[in-house]
Amino acid sequence: PGEESEPVLSYKEIFISIAAELPSYVFAFSVIENKNFGRKQSLFLSFGLAAFSCLAAHLFRDSGFMYAVFFAKFFANSAFEFIYPFTSELYPTNCRATGLGFASAASRIGGIMMPWIIVFTLDINATAPFIVFGIACLAAAALVAMLPYDTAGKELDGHHHHTEEQHKKKDEIELRDNEK
């Protein structure tokens, strides 16, 4: 008596919260190339709505917890789907693979840390991880908002579209340099 009740989920509720992944792929696919959204705004909205849903999961422990978890998973997964093409297009072509690899490595470090964050915050209460991840998503949304431009519909820097003539010129210059 007097203590807060911790949410207890059934297998059905867990399945419903995990099932958010499939529609998030459809959502991401349909929105990423939409001229009204673009990559930056799609990513910003996904992180923002994931943050809102995580914080709602903490607040609505009984009645709306399962729905908040569903939408948190939906928008977090959508953000993940938006971030890869957007991140790779932010880098110049000559270092795009390296930049994306570095960003991917950073995300893997986050993936390694996530279970430990959950373990440590579960000692506070069952919904404390949602506060931590909600704050992280809110910070990510703020950082995305500060990015200078959107890459949707923009031509990339063109380094990957060398013509045959440009390759020949480059080869000739390298050959001359080697002869000297």
Per-residue pLDDT tens over the stretch 6-53: 556 677 777 876 788 889 999 998 888 877 888 889 999 999 999 999
**Which residue shows structure tokens 């704050």?**
135
For 166-180, the pLDDT digits (tens) are 556 666 666 666 666
Q: How many CA atoms lie within 13 A of 84 on its CB side?
A: 10
Q: 43-63 as b/e, with b when 16 or more CB fall inside 10 Å?
A: bbbbbbbbbbbbbbbbebbee
* Spatial distance between the Cα atoms of 6 and 41, rounded to a whole number of angstroms: 35
| pLDDT(140) > 90 | yes
Lowest mean pLDDT of 28-37, 132-141, 154-163, name the range: 154-163
For 89-119, the pLDDT digits (tens) are 888 888 888 988 998 899 899 899 999 999 9
